[in-house]
């Protein structure tokens, strides 16, 4: 494939060691105060490398990663897309906004089939997260869908809402569900329509599992949304208020599932002849529930009942596996990824993380494509994540990842290695300050061990992150510390530690540099000119 041929970098001297890209997930560069979990942690390794000549900071949110505006926090999916693609693509939220605002989402066969089901006596069910976090979903997009349902005279709609508490404030569910209940009441006011919330639950325990980590999460969602099995309440807000009252420490993301009933019966089970739309736009936590609806021969759990429904996602979440088969908005067409270039130029590579971020260094890095590009040149390693809340085990699998990477470095089989330490992000989402500090310090300890191995091999280490999180553990309101569990909009580190010195690189002084500039930089470090349409490299090769 000549289109993927890379040109040699003039004046470059080859060397034996590997180029190792280390992604410190969720480790941003924050305000360096008491709220900054990276700053207050003991991180001698990170502190030292940040003082080296080839250290800078990158933008990892908003327009730099293809999101609608710079008010939008980055996330791991768009971050790894940018790292692996070398260019900025319109991403989930932006794509969906464009399709909904222009009406193109409602012009294809998918929406026509949804309407056909509804006009034939079926109910339209909308499943997704109710917040304005803009990472998995946005409540405004749901409102647009509901308004279109009203315009198209769909008589019966049921919303199965998942609480966020992770990309927004940890106990903000009443704000969003209250607004949703008000919207549904407005649309039902004329008496010609019946729009209601039917079920729900916290995102980390209901429906939104990812990477096959815990199918019981999806099963709990299936029972609530489809079967109407779960604790009964007269409304979603009653459910939330009750759970808060019974357990004052309860946060939205871990709230148990609930079913809304009237006269003792669920108001919105999913039945034969209905249509279902999953309105989350981010793929990782949408794939498993989509499989449960799409696959006749499904075995991950006992569905008890498999209704004949027309199922669609707001987007297709896995283009290679065709999950789901039907969708409203075309996904971003990410082509010419770094992995394609490297494989075509016979660069051996190795990618590893634990389950929670394994798809990020493979699927998302490769432009939303499943599987290997060239299995003869690549090796992907997944270390199973613990099925436990990460504040209880904040070290996660960092040691296991480190040991595997050190082995890969010593094997001399791989010229390019990439890995993700999930701790800063996954533990950051818990909002538990002591756990965040342990997570950050664990990663720093492992980073030191890994750098020692790269130095011994005469390689190059590239250290960066996909977005911030651990760099803000809490915010202050009315003198009270409130846990901050969402991603941040802080910049992230970018550091090159060159242990072989075969070539002399200096920073190129790229203005407003972002994650998409990393791919061209990696091309240079491996001895190649970057593709012409990539964002410019962060470095320049100079005479020694």
In degrees, rounded to 5, the angle at the alpha carbon of residue 407 between the alpha carbons of residues 402 and 409 is 95
Angle of helix 215-222 relative to helix 287-294, nearest 10 degrees?
Answer: 60
Nearest to 346 by CA among 408, 415, 410: 415
The candidate with the shortest Cα–Cα distance to 423, out of 408, 438, 404, 406, is 438
Q: Which residues are registered as beta bridge partners of 312?
A: 277
Q: Is 76 a catalytic residue?
A: yes
**Residues, the chain, total?**
544
Q: Where are the alpha helices (DSSP H) in 457-544?
A: 518-525
Contact 244, 229 (CB under 8 A): no
Given the residues 35, 41, 76, 290, the one annotated as active site: 76
CA 469 to chain CA mean position, Å: 13
3-class DSSP state of 9: coil
Q: CB within 8 A of 346, min separation 6: which ones?
A: 377
First to last CA, the chain: 34
- Residue 52 contacts by C-beta under 8 Å, 6 or more apart in sequence? 495, 496, 497
Burial of 392 (0-12, 13-18, 19+ CB in 10 A): exposed
Positive or negative, the CA dihedral 51, 56, 59, 65 is negative
Which of 523, 436, 440, 521 lies closest to 56, judged by CA? 521
Active site residues: 76
């Amino acid at each position: 494939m000549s289109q993927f041929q890379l040109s040699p970098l003039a004046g470059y001297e080859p060397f034996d060691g590997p180029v190792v890209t280390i992604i410190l997930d969720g480790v941003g560069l924050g305000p360096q105060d008491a709220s900054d979990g990276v700053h207050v942690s003991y991180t001698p390794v990170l502190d030292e490398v940040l003082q080296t000549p080839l250290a800078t900071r990158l933008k990892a949110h908003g327009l730099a990663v293809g999101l609608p505006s710079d008010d939008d926090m980055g996330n791991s999916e768009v971050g790894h897309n940018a790292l692996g693609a070398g260019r900025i693509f319109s991403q989930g939220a932006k794509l969906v906004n464009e399709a909904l605002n222009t009406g193109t989402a409602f012009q294809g066969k998918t929406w026509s089939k949804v309407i056909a089901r509804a006009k034939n006596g079926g109910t339209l069910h909308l499943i997704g997260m109710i917040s304005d976090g803009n990472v998995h979903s946005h409540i405004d997009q749901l409102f647009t869908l509901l308004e279109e349902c009203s315009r198209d005279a769909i008589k019966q709609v049921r919303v199965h809402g998942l609480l966020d508490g992770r990309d927004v404030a940890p106990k903000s569910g009443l704000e969003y569900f209250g607004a949703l209940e008000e919207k549904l009441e407005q649309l039902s006011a004329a008496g010609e329509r019946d729009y209601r919330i039917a079920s729900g639950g916290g995102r980390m325990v209901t429906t939104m599992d990812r990477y096959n980590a815990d199918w019981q999460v999806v099963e709990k969602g299936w029972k609530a949304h489809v079967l109407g099995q779960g604790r009964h309440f007269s409304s979603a807000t009653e459910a939330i208020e009750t759970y808060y009252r019974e357990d004052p420490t309860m946060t939205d993301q871990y709230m148990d599932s609930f079913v809304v009933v009237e006269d003792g019966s669920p108001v919105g089970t999913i039945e034969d002849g209905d249509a279902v739309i999953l309105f989350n736009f981010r793929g990782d936590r949408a794939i498993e529930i989509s499989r449960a609806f799409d696959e006749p021969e499904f075995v991950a759990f006992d569905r008890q009942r498999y209704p004949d429904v027309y199922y669609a996602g707001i987007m297709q979440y896995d283009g290679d596996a065709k999950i789901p088969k039907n969708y409203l908005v075309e996904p971003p067409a990410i082509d010419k990824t770094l992995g394609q270039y490297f494989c075509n130029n016979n660069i051996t590579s190795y990618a590893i993380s634990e389950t929670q971020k394994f798809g990020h260094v493979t699927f998302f890095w490769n432009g939303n494509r499943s599987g290997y590009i060239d299995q003869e040149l690549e090796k992907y390693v997944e270390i199973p994540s613990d099925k436990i809340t990460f504040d209880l085990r904040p070290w996660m699998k960092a040691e296991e990842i480190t040991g595997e990477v050190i082995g890969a470095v010593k094997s001399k089989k791989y010229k390019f290695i990439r890995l993700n330490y999930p701790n800063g992000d996954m533990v950051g989402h818990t909002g538990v300050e002591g756990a965040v500090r342990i997570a950050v310090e664990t990663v720093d300890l492992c980073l030191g061990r890994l750098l020692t191995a790269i130095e011994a091999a005469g390689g190059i280490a590239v250290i960066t992150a996909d977005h911030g999180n651990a760099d803000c553990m809490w915010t202050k309101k009315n003198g009270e510390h409130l846990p901050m569990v969402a991603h941040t909009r802080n910049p992230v580190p970018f550091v090159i530690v060159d242990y072989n010195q075969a070539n002399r690189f200096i920073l190129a002084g790229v203005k407003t540099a972002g994650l998409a500039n990393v791919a061209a930089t990696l091309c240079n470090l491996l001895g190649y000119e970057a593709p012409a349409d990539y964002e410019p490299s962060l470095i320049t090769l100079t005479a020694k």
